[in-house]
Copies of this chain bind each other. A is one copy, B any other.
Amino acid sequence: MIHSDGFRALDRQECLRLLGKAPVGRVVYTRQALPAVLPVNFSLDADGSVVLCTSAGSDLVRAVDGVVVAFEADDFHAGRRSGWSVVVTGRAAVVTDPVEHERLMRTGPRSWMPLRDGVFVRIESEMVTGRELTGVGAGP
């Protein structure tokens, strides 16, 4: 569906396909009662959940383990005023199951920063929304 205001809503499958191509996304959460956001690399698991790798002792883990967060990725072309964005909203949790942790050690994301105490955090894709900006608004 193309909206008159220049964007098209993306369905879940389109959103997950685009997410799968994005190298970086942003975890959106609340820290000390303030909105917070942290860019991270990630991987998309087979069930559509977002998996990231961070330090067990990080502020991020303390803030998001067990709570609902948003995760955003996008890709825009400023010159053409076009692009897409996807937001996954769902519960985040540290992966504690040893078998699952082991699997993710082989197949999951690697942190871009060296970690002594890496853990995986999974964000369930309970709600997936996205939109494509079709460039209709381009003008002088």
Contact = CB atoms under 8 A, between A and B. Distances in A.
Interface of A: 5-7, 23-24, 26, 28-30, 34-39, 41, 68-70, 72, 74, 76, 78, 81, 83, 85, 87, 89, 110-115, 133, 136-139
Contacts of A28: 28, 35-37
Given A113-B133, A136-B113, A37 B72 contact: yes
Nearest to A55: B5
A39 B85 contact: yes
Contacts of A83: 24
Q: Which DSSP category, helix, strand, loop or mixed, fits chain A's interface?
A: strand
Nearest to A78: B23
A111 B137 CA distance: 8
A6 B111 CA distance: 11
A39 B87 CA distance: 10
Contacts of A23: 76, 78
Contact of A133 (B36, B69, B112, B138): B112
A7 B137 CA distance: 38
B85 A114 contact: no
Given A23-B78, A38-B85, A111-B137, 14 more contacts: A5-B115, A6-B113, A23-B76, A26-B74, A28-B37, A34-B70, A34-B89, A35-B70, A35-B89, A36-B87, A37-B70, A39-B72, A39-B74, A113-B136
